[in-house]
């Protein structure tokens, strides 16, 4: 079993990045060459997202299979409780085992537009922690990861409630946490301290997303509930119209964040690279 848990015991910052199945069919062929390129860049692992509701379920498995068995990358596969009944989860995990995936990021997922509230609320697993509990109870041999939120999850009443729920996730079997993206490291340090105070000493990888175009803020960032500090918003207002400059300064900002985290002993850095291997290379070279 190739558990990524062991990577966190080696006294170095674990470097990883996220890949998602492309939405358009014609971009799909490209993803394999991107994985080949990532294999040369050698992150400690890649995580492959899953579209809640199952829109790209098959593709996520195909990509994980290629990443693990052709590109020979270490892989974490995401699964969401939205779209996974108990039965489907068991089948899905069996399939992951068959292709050699030993690491699963358990998530609740968000309600897809096409799903009614009633359908969303009748899922078998209400929370990621319920999935972790089910997998542990069944004795399935996976390293489990869970999500955590430096700015609290948008639906949580307050930070303390969210931190307590994150602790439940760990108690139910998550071995590693990966954070939502954030642009101000203080929020991450605060989350880590609060978890530590509750006795949660699980490794946490910090989620870093370089903002390389102004329009990113309108989509991913807004959805994540993350705040944008003055320094970053002034980079965007100054360079947002110039793609080259925006890329340069956006990456510079992310590297500054990553280096500060590394110098303060972060367990891991998880880069949201928007399927761009060269971004992974620039970020990883800068922090290695």
Task: For ligand FAD, give the closer residue by CB, 34 or 153.
Answer: 153
Cβ proximity to ligand FAD: between 27 and 241 the closer is 27
123 binds ligand FAD (CB under 6 A): no
Instruction: Please tell me whether residue 115 binds ligand FAD under the rule CB under 6 A.
Output: no
Which helix (H) or strand (E) segment holds residue 269: the answer is strand 268-272
Residue 147 binds ligand FAD, judged by CB under 6 A: yes
Applying CB under 6 A, does 13 fall inside the site for ligand FAD? Answer: no
**With b meaning 16 or more CB within 10 Å and e meaning fewer, what string describes 185-208?**
bebbbebbebbeeeebebbbbbbb
Q: How far is the CB of 194 from ligand FAD (least distance, A)?
A: 13
Instruction: Check: CB of residue 106 under 8 Å from CB of residue 89.
Output: no
Whole-angstrom distance, CA of residue 228 vs CA of residue 251:
15
Residue 148: name the closest of 200, 198, 191, 211 by CA. 191
Compute the least distance from the CB of residue 3 to ligand FAD, in Å: 18
- Residue 182 contacts residue 155 (beta carbons within 8 Å): no
Tell which one of 107, 221, 232, 280 touches ligand FAD (CB under 6 A). Answer: 107
Specify whether 40 is catalytic: no
Q: Which helix (H) or strand (E) holds 94?
A: helix 86-98
Regarding 59 and contact with ligand FAD (CB under 6 A), the answer is no
Choose among 220, 271, 214: nearest CA to 240: 214
| 156 part of the interface to ligand FAD, by CB under 6 A | yes
In the set 6, 18, 25, 161, the catalytic residue is 18
List residues near ligand FAD by CB under 6 A.
Answer: 49-52, 78, 80, 107-110, 127-129, 147, 153, 155-156, 162, 165, 168-169, 178, 180, 207
Catalytic (active-site) positions: 18
């Amino acid at each position: 079993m190739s558990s990524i848990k062991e990577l966190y015991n080696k006294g170095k910052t674990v470097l990883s990045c996220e890949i998602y199945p492309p939405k358009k069919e014609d971009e799909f062929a490209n993803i394999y060459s991107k994985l080949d390129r990532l294999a040369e860049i050698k992150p400690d692992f890649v995580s492959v997202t899953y579209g809640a509701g199952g829109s790209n379920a098959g593709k996520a498995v195909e990509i994980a299979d290629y990443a693990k068995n052709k590109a020979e990358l270490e892989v974490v596969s995401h699964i969401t409780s939205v779209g996974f009944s108990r039965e489907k989860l068991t089948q899905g995990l069996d399939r992951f085992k068959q292709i050699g995936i030993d690491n699963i990021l358990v998530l609740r997922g968000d309600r897809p537009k096409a799903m009614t509230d009633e359908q969303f609320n009748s899922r078998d697993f209400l929370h990621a922690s319920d999935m972790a509990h089910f997998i542990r109870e069944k004795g399935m041999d996976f390293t489990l990861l869970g999500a955590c939120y430096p700015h609290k999850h948008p639906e949580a009443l307050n930070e303390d409630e969210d931190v307590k729920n994150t602790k439940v996730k760990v108690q139910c079997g998550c071995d590693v946490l990966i954070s939502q993206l954030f642009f101000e490291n203080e929020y991450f340090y605060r989350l880590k301290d609060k978890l530590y105070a509750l006795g949660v000493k699980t490794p946490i990888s910090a989620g870093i997303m370089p903002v390389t175009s102004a329009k990113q803020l309108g989509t991913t960032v807004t959805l994540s509930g993350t705040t944008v500090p003055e320094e970053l918003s002034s980079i965007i207002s100054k360079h947002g119209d110039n793609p080259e400059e925006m890329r340069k300064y956006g990456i510079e900002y992310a590297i500054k964040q990553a280096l500060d985290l590394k110098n303060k002993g972060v367990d891991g850095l998880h880069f949201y690279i928007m399927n761009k291997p060269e971004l992974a290379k620039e970020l990883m070279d800068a922090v290695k």
